Amino acid sequence: MKSTANLAIADFRWGQIVDSTGRAFKDARLFPGGVEEWDWRKTGTRHDPGIQIADLEDLVATKPDVVILSRGVDLVLQVPQVTIDFARAHAANVLVLQSEQAVAEYNRRIAGERVVALVHSTC
């Protein structure tokens, strides 16, 4: 992961997140300097129990000001309290939001803050 400015999310729709360079992802991990596919299989993430600490470990190593965790379009993806507590130990602000709200908040904050985000584009 690079340590430069965040890329914006240019488009969000069910099943697709497009960054400002035109790359598309189903689910995305966004961090200062880049974006990559969020592959749930790497950490065993499922809708329940939800986002795992392992999904965040390398992201918080970038020393973000803000961590944004999306719960999906229909709020199906869970975020366990232990994951929220882990994020709070590494960032001043932790936001758990519905996906469209998470995208809007991410794009709003990237101009002035170091932001990491996990964005789920479906359910």
pTM: predicted TM-score of the whole model, two decimal places: 0.94
β-bridge partners, 94 = 67
What percent of the residues of the chain are helix, what percent strand, and what percent coil, each to the nearest 5?
25, 30, 45
The C-alpha atoms of residue 61 and residue 76 are separated, in whole angstroms, by 27
Q: What is the pLDDT along the chain (123 residues), one digit of tens a residue?
A: 444 578 999 999 999 999 999 999 999 999 998 999 999 999 999 999 999 999 999 999 999 999 999 999 999 999 999 999 999 999 999 999 999 999 999 999 999 999 999 999 999
Provide the CATH number for the domain formed by 9-120 in this structure.
3.40.1230.10
Residue ranges per domain, the chain?
A: 9-120
β-bridge partners, 74 = none
